[in-house]
Structure 1
């Protein structure tokens, strides 16, 4: 039951003002699923002190892997789909728990597969595009600068806010789905100008050149500050793939959903590096992260693609494998979206990787799939996010290394 405006003001909570269309949805005039979606979003808005809702142009929904949401999640999604829920804005999905075509090659059993297919079917009945990826901006869900969106995958949120300059809070899967159904979300946090201002200055004293360096930098900063909006000083160049992997690390070791880099990211010009606490990050901080994330022993699985590989990254892996073979008893698994995989197939990169003994999977990733079912014991990766989560999600050892070094650990000498 929702409190009245007078009750909210009495308790010192900002009243959430709804327009006439939003009021009608809350009253059920747009259907029961729209009513439930509005109830959820209004409750969040009240808790967070939002004064109004804001229209969003796209959504990206997490909570797609059966391993994450279980039977209760399947039932929730099927109930909403069965009650006629439909999204009203372009909406894409986070990675699910398996490659939708090559699931058996991952060690997935038919029971898991059938539950995962039910999840995908429920989303599709609601009008959600089954582009199961953590990089929606690479497959057509690319907002414009300043647009408000409702995204829920942590690295995609950070990328949208920081690299694109769109505006989204860290939505949960249900709230992102609710926003997709009603086309709006509460206006607070990173949707507001004041929520996007830097809270700390990061003086980068380490040399960062490779994607792995940027991943280590993000992980180090997340560990150090936890949350907030860092303004990076001292980075002279960075491409989108480097920023993509840094976003993932910042969100994994901390709760960072937005950063600025002087001279690189689109909103950084607004802010001067003064008047805030300063933190220095040097080579020793990056090395400490490498040690924290690395286990003893010889890896038997190399995973590349957290976040999902871009076409350029697929080409790089293919190039590294030319004239080489994955060693017996070891494996190289590359993860990407279905759309990028299709492009990579046309370009010949998938063929090169798989002829060398590697495998290219789409729709899923090493973090949300039941990786333990594949029978490996120690994963090496160039992604700090993957190494952060896999020991708990898959109960296997993990290590981090630069891409070239990681690949070399699983190929023949």
Structure 2
């Protein structure tokens, strides 16, 4: 193609020239890109196996985990990152990693948003040159070098942000260097989000305590050393190791030490060492209408959708910046009108549902909804439990970038279709059983029947799931060659111990790991000789092949226990998936 020039919005200014690597599918950097090699490791993604270093990455936007910003930071600090990112829509997670690298470490790459038509043309080209808010593309890099430099265009959204006296005091450094840098970052992201003011939040949940490399540790320790202290009650997400037992588990100190130190840095800033990816199970969970700042993708969609609290899908590092100041941009799901469904998804008539239905449905509907908030019809009769909604939300947040969902007659803001949509007419999509079957085969992808490890608790197991697991294991014997591991939060672990469930499950052969979760767990907690893993988590069945290099089976909790006892995944489809 001949050279073409397009103008967009530069959320981070800069100049870069390189070969294009493009996809029309959103990408999660966490679990989708190796932070040390820049290889795309999401084995379900069209770019799987590609190396992003020095490439112009052209994708619609991000999806999945809030920890993607940490991976981007790590790539930029080690020189392994892309040369620039060109996206089709504003993306907090992708942009925030670059903003932190620039504000704290003086490293940066350009990030530019184009409209859909221009984006598609750039994605079809071989090379691109990014210069401020301008993107030039063509088949020959030499020709792009000869084009004149662009004048600097607007950076991000040009909205004016009204600062309160408190905001200005943070910006002026009255509350110390950590608070000043935090407020600068908040204001840059508020510009991206189109906010014109900041609001108070009542609590924070920090996902930035996940260790993505030395960059994430350096950032947290720098804030702590600058005197950072949280201004609102703050809980911590799962960290990358079991803080109290990683040495006993045989974790390499080269990984265990910095991962543990990262958690310590946030505790030093005043956060509670809750170390759970399911903060909605804690007694501090927010109530409907409460304005909070939560990160961790599954926690965000659960808070918004099931609890009715109000939070954006905050990327790692912005979460602690807001916790240090207690102030957040008034944008996104903090605003009533931004919480409404813009897509109606109708389910087929179903019956005989088991607990594998909800993670599978969440995974599939996330792919369907992409960045759109959906309202789902057809489950009014089903009365899904808290655990069902947890599993649905985690899988939905894995494949979608939407911050919430509605289920008609189930979630608090969808008592009626009009409640969910605000009375607006919206497009509809009908789901077929055959569609769900295709997604099942993507998750249940291992060709061999043998199972070496049963992985449970992504997100963290609840107390009721511990009870259910104990009932399924009672009177049965675990196969000697199968390892069974459950991850859960400290609170759940203590409660299960007090109820006697812990000892019962340990007699069966279940190992419990607290503080961390499956997306961070490495060998030897995952046995080095294990080749095939079975899980009931749609989230882990998606991320696991790329993160571990193992093959995965997916099924219900009952099917997982059967595999633990026999050493095989039977491969039987659930009854509700056979109806088509």
Structure 1 and Structure 2 fold alike (TM over 0.5): yes
Moved more, 343-352 or 262-271: 262-271
Does the CA-based 8 Å contact 2:157-2:192 persist in structure 1?
Answer: no
Does the CA-based 8 Å contact 1:9-1:15 persist in structure 2?
Answer: no
Is 1:17 aligned to 2:162, yes or no?
yes
Equivalent of residue 59 in structure 1, options 201, 204, 207: 204
> What CA distance in whole angstroms lies between the structure 2 residues aligned with 1:225 and 1:290?
17
| Residue in 2 that maps onto 1:288 | 438
Moved more, 282-291 or 382-391: 282-291
Is 1:271 aligned to 2:425, yes or no?
no
Q: Which SS does the other structure have where 2:160 is aligned?
A: coil
Count the aligned residue pairs. Answer: 407
Residue 107 of structure 1 and its aligned partner are, at CA, apart by: 3.9
Equivalent of residue 202 in structure 1, options 302, 325, 345: 345
Structure with a larger share of its residues in helix = 1
> What CA distance in whole angstroms lies between the structure 1 residues aligned with 2:256 and 2:527?
15
Residue 103 of structure 1 and its aligned partner are, at CA, apart by: 2.1
| Residue in 2 that maps onto 1:243 | 389
Quick check: which has more Rg, 1 or 2? Answer: 2
Q: Which SS does the other structure have where 1:411 is aligned?
A: helix
Residue 315 of structure 1 and its aligned partner are, at CA, apart by: 0.6
- Report the CA distance shift for 1:207/1:182 in structure 2 as closer, same or farther (over 3 A): same
| Residue in 1 that maps onto 2:366 | 222
Equivalent of residue 374 in structure 1, options 527, 530, 541: 527
Does the CA-based 8 Å contact 2:240-2:260 persist in structure 1?
Answer: no
| Residue in 1 that maps onto 2:259 | 116
Matches within 5 A, 1:255-404: 255-269=401-415, 270-271=419-420, 275-294=425-444, 295-297=446-448, 298-371=450-523, 374-375=527-528, 376-404=530-558
Moved more, 208-217 or 115-124: 208-217
Moved more, 278-287 or 126-135: 278-287
Residue 284 of structure 1 and its aligned partner are, at CA, apart by: 2.0
> What CA distance in whole angstroms lies between the structure 2 residues aligned with 1:135 and 1:11?
33
Does the CA-based 8 Å contact 1:96-1:369 persist in structure 2?
Answer: no
What is the Cα-based RMSD across aligned positions, in Å? 2.1
Does the CA-based 8 Å contact 1:144-1:165 persist in structure 2?
Answer: yes
Q: Which SS does the other structure have where 1:410 is aligned?
A: helix
> What CA distance in whole angstroms lies between the structure 2 residues aligned with 1:141 and 1:203?
34
> What CA distance in whole angstroms lies between the structure 2 residues aligned with 1:342 and 1:36?
38
Greater relative contact order (CA < 8 Å, ≥ 6 in sequence): 1
Q: Which runs of 5+ in 1 are unaligned?
A: none
Matches within 5 A, 1:126-137: 126-137=269-280
> What CA distance in whole angstroms lies between the structure 1 residues aligned with 2:435 and 2:463?
31
- Report the CA distance shift for 1:12/1:362 in structure 2 as closer, same or farther (over 3 A): closer
Q: Which SS does the other structure have where 2:338 is aligned?
A: helix
- Report the CA distance shift for 1:106/1:325 in structure 2 as closer, same or farther (over 3 A): farther
Does the CA-based 8 Å contact 2:455-2:485 persist in structure 1?
Answer: yes
| Residue in 1 that maps onto 2:576 | none
Equivalent of residue 188 in structure 2, options 43, 48, 72: 43
Q: Which SS does the other structure have where 2:479 is aligned?
A: coil
- Report the CA distance shift for 1:79/1:103 in structure 2 as closer, same or farther (over 3 A): same
Residue 206 of structure 1 and its aligned partner are, at CA, apart by: 5.0
> What CA distance in whole angstroms lies between the structure 2 residues aligned with 1:271 and 1:140?
28
Residue 319 of structure 1 and its aligned partner are, at CA, apart by: 1.3
- Report the CA distance shift for 1:77/1:10 in structure 2 as closer, same or farther (over 3 A): closer
Does the CA-based 8 Å contact 2:535-2:555 persist in structure 1?
Answer: yes
> What CA distance in whole angstroms lies between the structure 1 residues aligned with 2:521 and 2:303?
24
Deviation beyond 6 Å, 4+ runs, structure 1: 7-12
Residue 137 of structure 1 and its aligned partner are, at CA, apart by: 1.5
Does the CA-based 8 Å contact 2:239-2:275 persist in structure 1?
Answer: yes
Does the CA-based 8 Å contact 1:64-1:95 persist in structure 2?
Answer: yes
Q: Which SS does the other structure have where 2:466 is aligned?
A: helix
Residue 102 of structure 1 and its aligned partner are, at CA, apart by: 3.0
> What CA distance in whole angstroms lies between the structure 1 residues aligned with 2:342 and 2:202?
28
Residue 180 of structure 1 and its aligned partner are, at CA, apart by: 0.4
Q: Which SS does the other structure have where 1:173 is aligned?
A: coil
- Report the CA distance shift for 1:11/1:92 in structure 2 as closer, same or farther (over 3 A): closer
Q: Deviations over 1:265-320 (max 9, x none)?
A: 11113235872111112322222111011211122111111111110000111111
Moved more, 372-381 or 56-65: 372-381
